[in-house]
Amino acid sequence: MFDHKIIFTGPVGSGKTTAVHTYSEIEPVMTEVKATDSTKNKKESTTVALDYGAVTLDEETKIHLYGTPGQERFEFMWDILGTGSHGLVLLIDHTDPDPLSSMRFYLEKFSQLVKSVPFVVGINKFDSPAPHSLAYEDYVEAAHQFDPNIEVFNVDIRKEEDVRMLIMVLLFAVPRDIHDENDKSSFNGDNCEKG
């Protein structure tokens, strides 16, 4: 059996708990409590430790799904949950007032993990009204400023097929260290055309 640990992270309300719940074949473990800080303006309850679910894809492949808490005060859990992971999904809420700032913040906070495991960005609620005029291309450009190999998808995290697609992209991704080697080799003299 090959066990894969996939992490869902992102700001409060981006869909991490929903993603785990949507795709898990077991009853998910949730650490939701009533929101008491500014989070209560977005939702009634919030994750304080982790969400956990699992799905068996075939007789040899099991996926363990972990959702991180979104608030920065629980940042210590991000490192704990990231340890030993095989892939990272950053979920961004398109309806946030400044989703690009949120994306940059989480890219920086998870920069070590982003550089070492397959990684995708999912833009959730893209079809919902938003207090800005950002297009899909704006998210791609912001992600590629951080790393040109990051793939960005519009998703509805309530749909099982959208969560599955994000996970499949991670499972079949080229390992990050191969990207690094290709990036280095593209600058050596062997690849230059001779005149």
- What are the boundaries of each domain within the chain? 2-175
Neighbour-count burial of 184, counting CB atoms closer than 10 A to its CB (0-12 exposed, 13-18 middle, 19+ buried): exposed
Instruction: Extract the tokens encoding 49.
Output: 């430790």
What one-character-per-residue DSSP string does 62-120 give? EEEEEE---SGGGHHHHHHHHTT-SEEEEEEETTSS-HHHHHHHHHHHTHHHHTTS-EE
Topology of domain 2-175, per CATH?
Rossmann fold (3.40.50)
The pTM for the full model equals: 0.79
Start-end of H helices in 61-98: 75-82
pLDDT along the chain (195 residues), means of 10: 88 91 86 54 57 89 88 69 84 95 92 87 93 95 93 96 95 63 43 37
So what's the pLDDT on residue 38?
53
So what's the pLDDT on residue 174?
63
So what's the pLDDT on residue 79?
73
So what's the pLDDT on residue 31?
62
Task: Give the gyration radius of the chain's Cα atoms.
Answer: 17
So what's the pLDDT on residue 51?
86
